[in-house]
């Protein structure tokens, strides 16, 4: 698994969860340089790309990380009204499949909680949440998250 991100601390967490390679995207002068590095790491592109950033421009870029007949799972881009330009011919020429993923059946939450309990000693789940805020500071948590000052916030609801 190769993880690309702008935030070095998130790349550290990705390595802790088993990423083989991590790439800090801002270290490259251009998108072409970044793609060249990715192609070198993968031998010409990935079979599967998963987009979880929520940034529309990243959606368009992600298409070019796929090899022919690759599959693209898009689950980060959920904000209504945000758009990006992309070359639909790139999909057709390379027979790429795009799968939008939003929400999940209710039973998945139960299964996810079981997974967390079964693997809590295997993976550093606590590192996914690097800041805690009381409910009264939820706006501050959202602002810090938007500015990428924190990875994920835990909101404490106290009686």
In a domain, 143, yes or no: yes
pLDDT of residue 78 exceeding 80: no
Q: Is the pTM of the predicted complex or chain greater than 0.75?
A: yes
Mean pLDDT of the chain: 90
**Is residue 136 located within the same domain as residue 60?**
no
**Is residue 134 located within the same domain as residue 95?**
no
Range of 44's domain? 2-100
Domain count, the chain: 2
Residue whose structure tokens are 């996810």 = 112
pLDDT at 43: 93
**Is residue 23 located within the same domain as residue 94?**
yes
CATH assignment of the domain containing 33? 3.40.50.720
**Is residue 24 located within the same domain as residue 70?**
yes
Lowest model confidence (mean pLDDT) among 16-20, 49-53, 64-68, 104-108 = 104-108
pLDDT of residue 112 exceeding 80: yes
**Is residue 75 located within the same domain as residue 145?**
no
In a domain, 123, yes or no: no
Cα end-to-end distance, the chain, whole Å: 42
Question: What's the whole-number mean pLDDT along residues 43-64?
Answer: 89
Specify the 3-state DSSP secondary structure of 97.
Answer: strand
**Is residue 133 located within the same domain as residue 96?**
no
In a domain, 113, yes or no: no
- The Cα 104–Cα 77 span in angstroms is 15
**Is residue 92 located within the same domain as residue 145?**
no
- The Cα 155–Cα 159 span in angstroms is 13
Percentage above 70 pLDDT, the chain = 100
The 10s digit of each residue's pLDDT in 113-140 is 999 999 999 999 888 888 999 999 999 9
Helical (H) or strand (E) element with 117:
helix 107-118
In a domain, 115, yes or no: no
Tokens for 50? 């998963």
Q: Answer for the pair 154, 135: CB distance below 8 angstroms, yes or no.
A: no
**Is residue 82 located within the same domain as residue 139?**
no
């Amino acid at each position: 698994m190769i993880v690309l991100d702008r935030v070095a601390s998130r790349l550290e967490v990705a390595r802790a969860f088993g990423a083989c390679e991590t790439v800090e995207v801002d270290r490259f002068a251009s998108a072409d340089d970044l793609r060249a590095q990715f192609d070198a790491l993968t031998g010409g592109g990935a079979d599967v790309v998963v987009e979880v950033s929520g940034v529309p421009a990243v959606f368009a870029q992600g298409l070019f990380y796929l090899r022919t007949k690759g599959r693209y799972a898009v689950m980060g881009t959920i904000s209504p009204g945000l758009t990006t330009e992309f070359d639909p011919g790139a999909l057709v020429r390379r027979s790429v499949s795009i799968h939008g993923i939003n929400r999940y059946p209710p039973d998945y939450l139960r299964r996810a909680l079981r997974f967390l309990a079964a693997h809590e000693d295997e993976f550093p789940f606590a590192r996914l949440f690097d800041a805690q805020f009381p409910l009264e500071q939820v706006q501050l948590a959202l602002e810090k998250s938007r500015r990428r000052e924190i990875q994920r916030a835990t909101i404490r609801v106290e009686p």
